[in-house]
Amino acid sequence: MQKRTRLSLLALSVAVVAGCATVAAVRDEPIQPIQPAKVNNPAMVELGKKLFFDPRLSRSGGISCNSCHNLSTGGADNLAASIGDRWQKGGINSPTVLNSSLNIAQFWDGRAKDLKEQAGGPIANPAEMASTHTVAVSTLQTIPGYVREFKSVYGTDQISIDQVTQALAVFEETLVTPNARFDQWLKGDNQALNMQELRGYELFKSSGCVACHNGAAVGGNSFQKMGLIQPYKTAHTAQGRVDVTKLDQDRFMFKVPTLRNVELTYPYFHDGAADTLTVAVDTMGKLQLGKSFTTQENADVVAFLKTLTGQQPSFALPHLPPSGDRTPRPDPFAKGG
Ligand code: HEC
Ligand code: HEC
C-alpha cells in the first residue's frame, strides 16, 4: 500500500515537472499561441466542409459560404461589402471565419451565441444566400450523395437544419491558424521575429492596443466602443451591440475583431473603410487611444501585425455530390426578391 502511494506520488511529481516544462516554454504575454484543432468527428468535419463549399444552400445555386469567406483569401472576401443574392450589397464587412471558434459570440454585434447558431443566419438572409431553412434542407434531400453522407454521420434518412448547422460549425472549428511567426516567438524561438517586429509588439503593448486585442485570437473576446476617445466618422448605419441589448451604452460597441491573419483580411473595420493596415493602425491609435503614431512607429506596428499570419487551413478541395434529378436547378438571374 505504502509502496503504491509512493510510486503514484513519484508519477505525479514527474507529471508536474513535465507540465511546468511546457508551461515555462511559453512566454508570459497577453497574447497566447493558437492551439491546433482537435478533430473528434472527422466524418462530420468532412460533411461540414462540403456544405461550406456548396452553392446549392443558396436560393440562386450560385453562392456558398466560401463566396464571402474565401478560404483562399484568409476566410474573408476582401470586399468592403459582400456580394449577396442578385448582386445585392452586403450590410457590413464580412469578418474572417478563421479562428472564429475563439470568438465570445458571432457577428459584429454578437447576436449569435456560437458558430452553430450563426450558420443558420446566412442561408436564410435575403441579402446573402436568400434561401430558407426548409428549402435548403429539401434541396439537400434530393442529392443522393448527401442523403448517404448525412445518414452515415447522423444515423437517419431525414436531413434537418440542425444537422446542417452543426456540421458547418464543426468544420469551422477546424479553421484555426496555428504556428504564426509570433506564436513561434511566444514559444521561445528568439529568431522568429526581427527587431522591427519586436519594436512593433512593444508599441502594441505600451500604447494600449493590447487592452482590447489580447488572448489567443488577439481580439474576439470582448465588445468595445469604436471611437472611444474620438468619434468614428462613417456614413455606415450599423449601430453595433445596442441592436442586441437595446442598451444605449452599447451604441457603437462592436465585437473586437481578431487580429490573427489581419494581413490577409483587408479592408478593415465594420464598414470596410480602411483599405490598408497603415490606415487602420493610424485610425486605431487616434480614435481608441488618442495617440498619433509617427510613420516609423506605424510601420513597426504593421510589421508586428503581419507576424500574426498563421498556417492557413490546408486540405484537398471537397468533391460535392452531384445533383439528383429532382434537385432544383440554379436560378441566379431570377427577377424580384
Ligand atoms: C453574401 C456573403 C456571405 C455569405 C454567403 C455568408 N456569409 Fe458569413 N458573414 C457575412 C457577413 C457580411 C458577416 C457579418 C454580418 C454581421 O456581423 O452582421 C458574416 C459573419 C459570419 C460569421 C461570424 C464571424 C465573426 O467574427 O463574427 C461566421 C462564422 C460566418 N459568417 C460563417 C458563414 C457560414 C458558415 C456561411 C454559409 C452557411 C456564411 N457565413 C455565408 C457574409 C456572408
Ligand atoms: C478600446 C478598445 C480598442 C483598442 C484600445 C484598440 N482597438 Fe483595434 N479595434 C477595436 C474595435 C472595437 C475594432 C472594430 C471597430 C469597427 O470595425 O468598427 C477594432 C479594429 C481594429 C483593426 C481592424 C481589424 C479588422 O479586421 O477590421 C485593427 C487592424 C486594429 N483594431 C488594430 C489596433 C491597434 C494597432 C491598436 C492600438 C493602436 C488598437 N487596435 C487599439 C477595439 C480596440
Q: What is the pLDDT of residues 161-195, one digit of tens each?
A: 999 999 999 999 999 999 999 999 999 999 999 99
Protein residue with its CA nearest to atom 32 in ligand 2: 281
Could you list the residue range(s) of the whole structural domain that residue 105 is in?
A: 42-173
Going from the Cα of 146 to the center of ligand 1, the distance in angstroms, rounded, reads 23
| Residue with CA closest to ligand 1 atom 29 | 97
94 CA to centre of ligand 1 in angstroms: 6
Ligand 2 atom with least separation from CA of 259:
24
CA proximity to 260, closest of 293, 208, 220, 303: 220
Mean pLDDT of 114-123: 96
In a domain, 241, yes or no: yes
Task: Count CB atoms within 10 A of the CB of residue 148.
Answer: 12
Asked whether residue 128 falls in the same domain as residue 60, the answer is yes
Question: Per 3-state DSSP, what percentage of the chain is helix, strand, and coil (rounded to 5)?
Answer: 45, 5, 50
Model pTM score: 0.93
Q: What pLDDT is attached to residue 25?
A: 79
d(CA 291, CA 232): 15
DSSP 237: -
Task: Name the one residue in this structure whose C-alpha cell is 475563439.
Answer: 102
pLDDT of residue 18: 44
Whether 12 shows a pLDDT value over 80: the answer reads no
Confidence of residue 243 (pLDDT cuts 50, 70, 90): very high
User: Do 145 and 210 have their domain in common?
Assistant: no
In this predicted structure, the answer to whether residue 224 has a pLDDT above a threshold of 80 is yes
Ligand 1 pocket check for 92: Cβ under 6 Å = yes
Distance 130 CA to ligand 1 centre (A): 13
pLDDT at 15 over 70: no
163 and 192 both lie in a single domain = no
Same domain, 167 and 50: yes
Same domain, 160 and 189: no
Q: Are residues 160 and 187 in the same domain?
A: no
Say which range, 57-71, 131-145, 323-337, has the weakest mean pLDDT.
323-337
Q: Residue 335: pLDDT band by 50, 70, 90 thresholds?
A: confident
Q: What is the mean pLDDT of the chain?
A: 93
Closest-lying ligand 1 atom to the alpha carbon of residue 109: 17
Count helices and strands in the chain by DSSP H and E runs: 12, 2
CA atoms of 162 and 67, how far apart (whole Å): 22
Are 242 and 296 within one domain?
yes
Distance CA 127, CA 326 (A): 26
Which of 52, 49, 51, 54 is closest to 330 using CA atoms?
54
Does one domain contain both 168 and 49?
A: yes
Q: How many domains does the chain have?
A: 2
Closest by alpha carbon to 232, among 282, 174, 300? 282
Share of the chain above pLDDT 70, in %: 92
| Ligand 1 contact, 68 CB (< 6 A) | yes
Cα 277 to chain centroid distance, Å, stands at 18
In the prediction, which pLDDT does 207 show?
Answer: 98
233 in a structural domain: yes
SS3 192: coil
Within-domain flag for 17:
no
| 162 and 230 housed in the same domain | no
pLDDT tens-digit profile of 34-62?
999 999 999 999 999 999 999 999 999 99
Question: What's the CA gap between 142 and 148, in Å, rounded?
Answer: 11
Q: Which residues line ligand 2 (CB under 6 A)?
A: 204, 207-209, 211-213, 224, 226, 228, 254, 256-257, 259, 262, 265, 268-270, 277, 280-281, 284-285, 288-289, 301
Nearest-CA residue for ligand 1 atom 42 is: 94
Catalytic residue among 46, 128, 172, 297: 128
In a domain, 3, yes or no: no
Q: Are residues 205 and 297 in the same domain?
A: yes
User: Does a structural domain hold residue 112?
Assistant: yes
Residue 294 lies in a domain: yes
Domain shared by 169 and 280, yes or no? no
In a domain, 213, yes or no: yes
What pLDDT, on the 0 to 100 scale, is given for residue 137? 98
Q: Do 95 and 78 belong to one domain?
A: yes
Give the CA count within 13 Å in the CB-facing half-sphere of 31: 32
Query: 173, 207, 233 — which closes off a domain?
Result: 173
Residue 310, pLDDT > 70, answer yes
Cα 73 to ligand 2 centre (Å): 21
Instruction: Check which CATH number belongs to the domain holding 299 and give it.
Output: 1.10.760.10
Q: How confident is the model over 288-301, as pLDDT tens digits?
A: 999 999 999 999 99
pLDDT band at 337 (very low <50, low <70, confident <90, very high): low
pLDDT of residue 3: 46
Provide mean pLDDT across the span 243-253.
96
Q: For residue 170, give the amino acid letter.
A: V
Q: What is the mean pLDDT of residues 198-221?
A: 98
Task: Measure 39 CA to ligand 1 centroid, in angstroms.
Answer: 23
Q: Which atom of ligand 2 is nearest to the CA of 277?
A: 29
- Residue at 129 is within a domain: yes
Residue 149 falls in the annotated catalytic set = no
Indicate which atom in ligand 1 lies nearest the CA of residue 110. 27
* Mutational pocket test of ligand 2: of 256, 282, 293, 305, the residue with most ligand atoms within 8 Å of the beta carbon: 256
